[in-house]
A and B are shown apart, each in its own frame.
Chain A
Amino acid sequence: MKGVRIDPLEFEVFKHLFVAIAEEMGVTLCRTGFSPNIKERLDYSCAVYDGSGATIAQGDHLPVHLGAMPLSVRAAIDAMPMRSGDMVVLNDPYRGGTHLPDITLVAPVFIGRDATPAFYVANRAHHSDVGGMSPGSMPLARELFQEGLIIPPVKLVDRGRVVDDVMRVVLANVRTPVEREGDLTAQIAANRVGEARLRSAVSRYGRGRVSAYAGALQDYTERVMRATVRQIPDGRYTFSDALDDDGFGRERVRIEVAVTIDGDRAEVDFAGSDPQTTGGVNANFAITLSAVLYVFRCLVPDDVLYNAGIARVVTVRAPEGTIVNARRPAAVAAGNVEASQRITDTVLGALARALPGVVPAASQGTMNNVTLGGRWPGDGRPFAYYETLAGGMGGRPGLRGLDAVHTHMTNTRNTPVEALEHAVPVRVRQYAVRRGSGGAGRFEGGDGLVREYEALVPTSVTVLSERRTLRPWGAQGGEAGASGRNVRVAVDGTETVLGGKASFELAPGERLRIETPGGGGWGR
């Protein structure tokens, strides 16, 4: 911005300003959301963008949304001109989305009589049902069309008014429309809060200064990132890891990576990775980008603002049509939650060769997605519920891995047992640390956990999980963590071990026990 002198002494003031806006949006979304997934598990992200759609600040919400959210904003900008008071909704994984349950709402912020937006605000929330072949919309599907309602970028709010036609189409395609409408209303409210706070910042500091400092904050993050990359020894570091299976019989879906460090730049190339598969473990480019940016963000020692500055330092190449950059209409439900974790493991494995004293052993490497659906006894109201389960964290140089905690690309909280049993006709029989599941080593891997559900009514269940056959690897001589187990327990107590990806019906009294993987150990 012309004429504005950037004072390095004032960065911190503006950093507080932008972070506070993203956080305040998050508070609104959490407090007014309706589905347990938003209000208890905090499965959402909020961020503020500049007029070109580049991130200024993103709240510390979910890493898997890091690289993906700006692509949503880009898709909305490319799709249509937006006027003041408009909001664009989307979830199409091939037009700015990641997987269908993640619905993103983008709003432009106009200042004065400007013809183009000075800023954008956006928030993304995981909805616990968007239709498709199974309740909870995390199915074992063969193509995107089975996974739920696909929303290309369209206006949900037009000059401040909700577009009823669009809302009705959305609500007609989901199993729990009342909850969906409530969650979408909360998302609209969150963007309005962001917009109002940006306007008041501009009226206080002037548009020129706010924009100039937004740019300066991105430059600043870039400088910190470059300084961090410069500390990594130059070289080309390779690693390979794999997904257990795609749920349709194809096993060991490989991800290959070469990380090249050259001075203060990094290139991450996934050439050689396997072609996309039938089942929904495919990642689109947004997910791969998020995973890589997450890993590099973790290398930065300081508490810097996450924004577009990070992406300027790291180039990501992912060949189209592969597991790390799938083409329409590949199914993607588990790409966001499972492939994202494996991509992270793979990049970390490569960097462990460059930075053996920094990078931890593999963590559980899955989110253990459980979806439950059916009808309430009595009034027959449908229910659809989704949650993910924590597991073991890998051992770190100098520290044991943490037990029963979400790692890497997610940080959603659990739903309290007492809240879960209020929300759906399911009983939790056990919720415990899975002792002895962490890998041995000088610094042990953390333990996974055990959660056992009992169906009270006929219940459709889908489990999407990983590291059921391949184990989370140890680092620098540490042992691998235990792989996870999904077990179906019949009413008479007979146990059947299920695959990592399974879709089935539980009869009343039948149980599902998920044992999540332990982390790998570090050092011998």
Chain B
Amino acid sequence: MLRVGVDTGGTFTDFVLLDSPGVRLHKVRSTPDDPSRAILEGLRDLLGGRTPGGVVHGSTVATNAVLERRGATVALVATAGFEDVLTIGRQARRELYNFDVTAAAPLVDRQRVWGLRERLAPTGEVLEPLDLGSLEGLAARAAASGAEAVAVCLLHSYANPAHERAVADALAARGLLVVASCDVLPEYREFERWSTTVASAYVTPLMTRYLEALERRLGIASLEIMQSNGGTVTARAARRNAVQTILSGPAGGALGAWHVAAEAGIGRAIGFDMGGTSTDVTLLDGGPGTTSETVVGDVPVRLPMIDIHTVGAGGGSLAAVDAGGALRVGPQSAGADPGPACYGRGDRFTVTDANLLLGRLDAATFLGGRMALDPARARAAARPLADALGSSIEEVAAAVVRVANASMERAIRVVSVERGHDPRGFALVAFGGAGGMHAADLAAALDVDTVLVPRLAGVLSALGMLMADVTRDGVQTVLTGTGPGGHAAAAETAARLETRLRAELAADGAPPEAIVAERAADVRYRGQSFELTVPLTPGLADAFDRAHAQRYGYADPAREKELVNVRVRARVPARRPAWPRAAAVEHRPEPRHTSPAFFDGRVRDTAHFVMEHLRPGARGDGAAVIAGEASTTVVPPGWGWRVDEWGNLVLTRAGRRTRHASRRGGR
């Protein structure tokens, strides 16, 4: 069966075609005004007249709608007296020492927020009943308001959804698109739940139109949509809960990185995706982890998503000298236009310019030779900085790379050390345009011995989408103990959730026998506010103590625990074809040429290779620069490199045996 992964990015739309036994790649320019045009064009190029058996698509439609504030006109029905919850937020300002600090405007206009008299207690008990008679008027008002979608958010609805359901039914009867908070996120904390619900209402109409048009034009049976949680859903299901797709692109990248690493026999890795303006970092410990604390733009979206930490530093980050005479890199970026000075349009110095001046980029082979780089322009851009700092241009360039690395290193520590994982046991999987240039230096700083640059680094997100399982997540707040009674109650809730999720998957066409389900519990010490997720088993209390000790450095087994939420994930495992693999015949290829480059302040002869010319088994020692179609990899002195059986580039620190010898057929 022909399956195609399609990732719509800002600049390019990437395609990966799996056609056993082959993999084919394709890229076309994105068409931001109507992303489906690029998709159709790319599929035509790739498939000729053939019809794909399935397309898995990662879409930025929902993300961009929120980031650029181009979503639907929405209305909000809230418990009377609490209409301003989204305006007040958490009552904190986002910068402490800035008189001119601004606030994020809610996605819903205050004129379209309507209070409704009703009230529940935290237990779900009805304190003030809903006046069913008032719903008629409310529905009429909503219909007349011009709202394309209505969010229904009532206090304590996670404990009792009856009021929200009654309101939603009355509005839906008028033909309105309704999103109820008890369906989106049945968890306590009103601001975060309501914010997520309104975000869902905000992106759903747009996403629905987009997916309907895409399905129609593709004319295929199976369109799957990548979700932020790392699984896919049918397009039909995605239309119902579009907010789930909000970070589908980066989720695909994390999955792609994980599958490439796993295939190469690496069990624990850190995904490091460094692009032009930002860098995404993901911990991959037996797979990507999930978090429920994501903020998209200014908007908290508290759904289970792959835990991706993003920092605003990339190849295009601008260098500057501040009032105190210190060198800064970012957060301002040269973006795609004008881009780094060496691209020929901009005149401010960026991280990419610094890499070029240090000899770590080859002006002739950059991006397969499609883009000529202008070193003289980069030097001119560095001159004002060098003058201000009293340093040479090469010193400035080296410092810009070091400063950029420091912020990347901090990002990696956030996902590893702060989560209780020592990065030393992990490999770095580097991708994105600039990932391979910085990976080895970062690995050395973190005491990591192995760097993997996937052969398909340029299309890793599209690849990851093909590897994703069809997935449904369910969560329910239970607030019970962790003893046998609590566990039994939670297991009962989990069973109900599982039955529902299985039925939903089956309704979307999944064979019932292929569905697997996993149950987990969010647990905390009674009185804490943040939970850790552990498998839902009778031994969950001990598992929680261990997890707490790992994450925070201490545990108190005698302290009473609380089981807060039950989580169920139901999925249909994707069929993952074996990768095409070539026998690795060990050899040391001749470099294309050799030229000087700076490492640690010294000039070193550096061998240059073209990635696409290297065959499995090729190996060599740093200093080397390996230019690929999509990215360039720098191998510093003290590191060795080789091409593995799958065509990936593997960097290893000299004098250390790799801890990630492949399990299968590897050395």
Question: Which of B25-33, B81-89, B274-282 sits within the interface?
Answer: B81-89
- A197–B422 Cα distance when bound, in Å, is 12
Contact status of A418 and B122, CB under 8 A, knowing A39-B530, A399-B102, A405-B93: yes
| A20 & B552 in contact (Cβ 8 Å cutoff) | no
| A402 & B101 in contact (Cβ 8 Å cutoff) | yes
| B122 & A421 in contact (Cβ 8 Å cutoff) | yes
Instruction: Give the shortest distance, in Å, between B521 (CB) and chain A (any CB).
Output: 17
| B529 & A9 in contact (Cβ 8 Å cutoff) | no
By size class, the interface of chain B is: 35 or more
- Which residues in window 93-120 of A have CB below 8 A to B? none
Contact status of A220 and B325, CB under 8 A, knowing A9-B391, A13-B402: yes
A384 within 8 A of B: no
| B103 & A16 in contact (Cβ 8 Å cutoff) | no
Instruction: Give the shortest distance, in Å, between B422 (CB) and chain A (any CB).
Output: 10
- Kindly report which residue of chain B lies nearest to residue A179, judged by CB atoms: B527
- Kindly report which residue of chain B lies nearest to residue A30, judged by CB atoms: B530
- A60–B92 Cα distance when bound, in Å, is 12
Residue interface bits B551-593, CB-to-A below 8 A is 1, else 0:
1111010010000000000000000000000000000000000
B155 within 8 A of A: yes
Instruction: Give the shortest distance, in Å, between B393 (CB) and chain A (any CB).
Output: 12
Given contacts A182-B527, A416-B192, 16 further A-B contacts (CB under 8 A): A8-B326, A11-B327, A12-B328, A12-B406, A28-B552, A40-B529, A42-B92, A220-B326, A221-B324, A223-B323, A227-B323, A297-B97, A419-B189, A432-B81, A449-B84, A449-B91
Contact status of A189 and B553, CB under 8 A, knowing A301-B323, A404-B84: yes
- A407–B92 Cα distance when bound, in Å, is 8
| A24 & B92 in contact (Cβ 8 Å cutoff) | no
- A17–B405 Cα distance when bound, in Å, is 12
- Kindly report which residue of chain A lies nearest to residue B103, judged by CB atoms: A402
Instruction: Give the shortest distance, in Å, between A446 (CB) and chain B (any CB).
Output: 9
By size class, the interface of chain A is: 35 or more
Question: Which of B344-352, B368-376, B407-415, B492-500 sits within the interface?
Answer: B407-415
24 A-B Cβ contacts within 8 A? A9-B389, A9-B391, A10-B399, A11-B327, A12-B403, A24-B418, A31-B528, A34-B527, A60-B96, A63-B97, A182-B559, A224-B324, A302-B324, A390-B88, A402-B102, A405-B91, A406-B92, A411-B92, A418-B155, A419-B188, A419-B529, A422-B479, A430-B81, A432-B81
A192 within 8 A of B: yes
Contact status of A12 and B188, CB under 8 A, knowing A28-B552, A32-B552, A399-B102: no
| A404 & B325 in contact (Cβ 8 Å cutoff) | no
- Kindly report which residue of chain A lies nearest to residue B389, judged by CB atoms: A8
Interface of B is mostly: loop
Most buried by A among B85, B100, B402: B100
Instruction: Give the shortest distance, in Å, between A8 (CB) and chain B (any CB).
Output: 6
A311 within 8 A of B: no
Contact status of A185 and B395, CB under 8 A, knowing A402-B101, A405-B91: no
A172 within 8 A of B: no
- Kindly report which residue of chain B lies nearest to residue A34, judged by CB atoms: B527
- A291–B417 Cα distance when bound, in Å, is 35
Which among A10, A35, A390 is the interface contact of B91 at CB below 8 angstroms?
A: A390
| A9 & B395 in contact (Cβ 8 Å cutoff) | yes
- A28–B92 Cα distance when bound, in Å, is 20
B516 within 8 A of A: no
- Which residues in window 394-436 of A have CB below 8 A to B? 396, 398-399, 402-407, 411-414, 416-419, 421-422, 427, 429-433
Instruction: Give the shortest distance, in Å, between B190 (CB) and chain A (any CB).
Output: 5
Which among B93, B96, B121, B190 is the interface contact of A402 at CB below 8 angstroms?
A: B93
Contact status of A414 and B91, CB under 8 A, knowing A9-B391, A224-B324: yes
Q: With a CB–CB cut-off of 8 A, which chain A residues contact B327? A: 8-9, 11-12
B111 within 8 A of A: no
| A220 & B190 in contact (Cβ 8 Å cutoff) | no
A386 within 8 A of B: no
| B90 & A414 in contact (Cβ 8 Å cutoff) | yes
| B92 & A405 in contact (Cβ 8 Å cutoff) | yes
Q: With a CB–CB cut-off of 8 A, which chain B residues contact A445? A: none
Most buried by A among B91, B329, B527: B91
- A193–B406 Cα distance when bound, in Å, is 20
Which among B99, B409, B548, B556 is the interface contact of A359 at CB below 8 angstroms?
A: B99
Ordered nearest first, which 10 A-B pairs have the shortest CB separation?
A9-B399, A39-B529, A224-B324, A390-B91, A413-B90, A430-B81, A34-B527, A11-B326, A13-B406, A12-B403
